Amino acid sequence: MSFNIALSGVAAAQKDLDVTANNIANVNTVGFKESRAEFGDVYATSLLAGSKTKVGDGVLTQDVAQQFSQGSLQFTNTALDLAITGNGFFATVPDETSRDFSFTRAGQFKLDDDNYVVNSNGDLLLGFPVNSDSTSSSVALSTTEPVQIPDSSGSPAQTSEVDIRMNLPAGDQGLDPAAFDPLDPLTYNAATSVTVYDSLGDSHVMTYYFVKDVAADNEWYVATAVDDQLTDLVNSTGTDSDPTTAVNSLGTNTGNGVTAAKLVFSQGGDFIGIESPDGIQTTDYKLKTEALGSALSNGADATQQIGIDFNLDPSNATTVEPTQYASAFEVTSLEQDGLPVGRLTGIDIGPDGLVRATFSNGTSEPIVRVALVRFANEQGLTQQSSTEWKESILSGEALAGEATTGTFGEINSSALEQANVNLTTELIDMIIAQRNFQANSRALEVNNSLNQTILNIR
């Protein structure tokens, strides 16, 4: 019996050495979780046996249990490198239609030829579908979908409004509005331009011409042109009128007739009123161009109109309104709300797992939210190769959720979770296991010597 006891000790020491060697071998494996050999003594007895004198029957390996403690983070320059701090696993599937889930803490992800996010095995990372407001439309594991980075362009947006703020020089000489000619700078006092966009994302130059009224102090005409084509401003009722009959117009004597608006300032230079081409102030204190169809020749929306907001506050002067002071013409703000076609410039993954694509036109779109999965008993998971695990009866059912909610951890982009192996501890454990192996081997040797002595008795 002592032979078997010593043999069980040798086997246990060998198992301990194997576990330690495996931990050391994977010290640089991303997402690896160290294992610990757990042993129990063997004690067999019967009903009539004398338990006071019974000797144990050796040792038995009860479990090789993985330890799911947090590994340290290694930061990288790749946005698709993901690390979890806290509780949770990434979920993956081998192909788009499969529901054969695997779970991992190794976040070394990359793009395949179809722009799916995959790991080194080619398994697809899973995420929750999201709404336009970045909320998850579902957080069930059954509704997860492979994370795919779009290769399409950012959608354009046509310009609907231009916000403009400037100072008009109070000392400028008034000019005859009927003599306006956009090709002759002497017929207008100032001009400025802004790039606007049509429904297809094509850019156009919108120019604003300012003419100080020679017949009225502190009043200025403003007219517009798109791509050097004069564009009428509509009346307060939204209708267009003929420049020759409009109350406010420019260029009627030069063949450059265009309806205009009038900006009215106080004697102190404050902006106090705005008149449409029909001489009536609009209720929202804004202007609007006619439909730009004649200026658009690329098939874009011909009904596009562009509003002009001078930020008039009739109750009091504000810092966002135009002014008429004794200084040079100066544009202090000129903004429009259109967007050109954008190309994908980057991917951002937030702590909550939200994947957002950013485009060159300044827009961003939520794509998907990386799913996390947790288990009631992580040590009950069935270990697979490549630092992956499968659900088992002992682990309990996989529970999916969003990062940073409940007991789920946080997702760190451009970071990897290193193995949680403490190399110093493993080296010490290896020395202890070696000592145990040698001691049990010595016990075998002693048992063998005793047997030989007995066999040599005459």
- Local mean pLDDT, 10-residue blocks, the chain (458 residues): 77 90 94 92 70 76 92 94 96 94 96 93 95 92 93 84 95 95 96 95 95 94 95 90 92 94 92 92 88 88 94 83 94 93 89 92 89 95 94 95 95 96 92 86 75 73
As a whole number of Å, the end-to-end CA separation of the chain is 24
- The answer to whether 93 touches 100, Cβ cutoff 8 Å, is yes
Residues 6 or more apart in contact with residue 451 via CB below 8 angstroms:
none
Instruction: Give CB contacts under 8 A, 24+ apart, made by 268-273.
Output: 269/170, 269/323, 269/324, 269/325, 270/317, 270/321, 270/323, 271/310, 271/312, 271/317, 271/321, 271/322, 271/323, 271/324, 272/314, 273/312, 273/314
CA-to-CA distance for 265 and 280, rounded, in angstroms? 16
φ, ψ at 61 (rounded to 5°): -75, 115
Please compute, for residue 234, the number of CA atoms within 13 A of its CA located in the half-sphere on the CB side: 18
**Which is it for the CA torsion 346, 347, 351, 352, positive or negative?**
positive
* pLDDT score recorded for residue 295: 86
Question: Which amino acid does the sequence have at 261?
Answer: A
Write out the two tokens for 375. 């288990």
Report which residue type is found at 380.
Answer: G
Task: Look at residue 48 in the predicted model and tell me its pLDDT.
Answer: 61
Amino acid 1: pLDDT? 56
List CB contacts of 367: < 8 A, sequence separation 6 or more. 130, 147, 148, 149, 150, 355, 356, 357
The owner of tokens 């492979």 is: 146
Is the Cβ–Cβ distance between 72 and 30 less than 8 Å?
no
Residue 268 tokens, joined: 């102190």
Cβ contact 371:385 at 8 Å: no
Note the pLDDT of residue 46: 65
